[in-house]
Structure 1
Amino acid sequence: MPSFSADSVGSLMRRLPLRKAPGPDHLRTEMLLPIKSVLAPLLSLLFSICYQWSYTPSPWRQAQVVPIHKKGDPTSPGNYRPISLTSIVRKLFEMLHWIKLSVSMI
């Protein structure tokens, strides 16, 4: 079973963008960074279990869809594009997966 180390989770937490809109869980990077030393080992255990069981928790599969104005008349629905705000914890999990896949492809 590939495990995700607390160090790798902590280092990825530092790479998360700041000042971004939160997802449905209302968590922001700025909220997680001060407790990174406590949170990283817990998340690494959670991520390893989720990976081993091929399980994605239901809240991680939810997104908040928000319309963003592109250009033109703001009263026209066609001038908006949707963006999906997802959980920051899910983003960390996806980043770890991407790294594991990238390394295994080399």
Structure 2
Amino acid sequence: MRHIPTCIDNDISAYKIFMVSSRTCPHCQRVKDALNQHNINRNLMKIIEIDSDCRRDEIMQHVEHLSGSRTVPKVWINGNLIGGADDILRENSSGNLRQLLLSAGALYS
């Protein structure tokens, strides 16, 4: 089995958008809804759903190491931690989320 922190770090680097989420989390759904407002190239985005992953504790331990908290959602764009639901929704409301996605090359033209 692959080392979880290495896998997560590699995914953060490899994907323009990387999200740690839970299918049962309403905050996660709001972030997904905000992201879905944009014309994102889905091949450049990866979402890990922790509620169905047997490695959940190890994943969340590394998320805490990277972000300072064990809560979901957590979103990285272009390798940079943007934050959780409040951060993404604020960036979306201000128009900054679109700019971040454009700058990352995550949107279809």
RCO comparison, higher one (Cα < 8 Å, 6+)? 2
TM-score by length of 2: 0.27
